[in-house]
Amino acid sequence: SQKIEQNSEALNIQEGKTATLTCNYTNYSPAYLQWYRQDPGRGPVFLLLIRENEKEKRKERLKVTFDTTLKQSLFHITASQPADSATYLCALADNYGQNFVFGPGTRLSVLP
């Protein structure tokens, strides 16, 4: 069956460290994968998109990698700050390319 998993429900790290979040999928062949940030009580907000032919994408302190062989994406936040505390969701288009399917999310807490 098709599945998207994110490494852990919650992740606590110290301010200034690099946070690494994992997204694994099975039985999908996505042309691209996206990462979103969601703050409590709000809708998700788009952060980054990476295509299957791209190994890595960067935006300021964010870095995303995409390994279609491992069926995995890694999301890194360098020099993390308490303001980065939020839930991060990965999403990919289903095999029909019509819908986005979201992972369960990882709740990141950056401790001062």
Partner 1 sequence: DVKVTQSSRYLVKRTGEKVFLECVQDMDHENMFWYRQDPGLGLRLIYFSYDVKMKEKGDIPEGYSVSREKKERFSLILESASTNQTSMYLCASSLEQLSGNTIYFGEGSWLTVV
Q: How far is the CB of 98 from partner 1 (least distance, A)?
A: 7
Question: Based on CB atoms, which residue is closest to partner 1, 31 or 70?
Answer: 31
Question: Based on CB atoms, which residue is closest to partner 1, 37 or 63?
Answer: 37
Q: Which residues bind partner 1 (CB under 8 A)?
A: 31-32, 34, 41-46, 49, 51, 89, 91, 93, 97-105
- Tokens encoding 44: 């998700």
Q: Which residue has the tokens 């409590």?
A: 40
- Tokens encoding 59: 């935006």
Question: Based on CB atoms, which residue is closest to partner 1, 80 or 92?
Answer: 92
For residue 84, give the 3-state DSSP assignment. helix
Q: How far is the CB of 21 from partner 1 (least distance, A)?
A: 15
β-pairing verdict for 56-59 and 106-111: unpaired
Evaluate whether 48 touches 57 at the Cβ level (below 8 Å). yes
